[in-house]
Chain A
């Protein structure tokens, strides 16, 4: 079955760039039936959608983070990545990658059906 696994540094210094990679196994990232998403959760808080990427390379970002984020994909490695620049302590969170089902003919994400285990990223000097 399809599995997602996040990887990347668990500690990032303020003002630097947070970089995470999500490796997809058991299925192809080039499937047109899904978006590939990043979601974060501040400690003890709720979930926040960060953004998506489609296999074509089209991206969709949360406007509150849009100026600082880049989501990209590497189909040869079956991976997609998140870069968040100029981080502060407010970016400390558990970051999840997830597969986002797309409605038939609608192009809208209807549910995050598979999630990675999540990775805690702490921003601190």
Chain B
């Protein structure tokens, strides 16, 4: 099972909205609503931002939202802030013996 495909980098200006895509297959994102998203600052552990495609854990800003269409999941950050600059990873259940696969990761830069 290969990693889910994400763009290597996405950038946006303060206050803007950006969207990070996460492309899988009909064996994972396409059939299961078990997509989660993680934010990772340098040298830190990842932080759960979205689970089950579009649910936000308690304490996560509502500027973060998730969605899915076909084999692609997306994370949108609205009202971009300096502290949003980080790496972002998606994850999905695969239903195969691989069970869970992460995305390749996206570096978000705030201009």
Contact = CB atoms under 8 A, between A and B. Distances in A.
B45 A118 contact: yes
Contacts of A115: 45-47
A9 interface: no
Nearest to A63: B97
Nearest to A114: B48
Interface in A40-85: 46-49, 52, 60, 62-63
Interface residues of B, number: 25
A111 B103 contact: no
Interface in B30-46: 32, 34, 36, 38, 45-46
Interface string B1-26: 00100000000000000000000000
10 contacts: A47-B38, A47-B46, A49-B99, A49-B102, A96-B46, A103-B34, A108-B34, A112-B38, A113-B48, A115-B46
Interface of B: 3, 32, 34, 36, 38, 45-48, 50-52, 57, 89, 91, 93, 97-105
User: What are the nearest 10 A-B pairs in CB distance?
Assistant: A111-B51, A115-B45, A111-B36, A47-B102, A49-B100, A46-B105, A113-B48, A110-B51, A110-B52, A63-B97
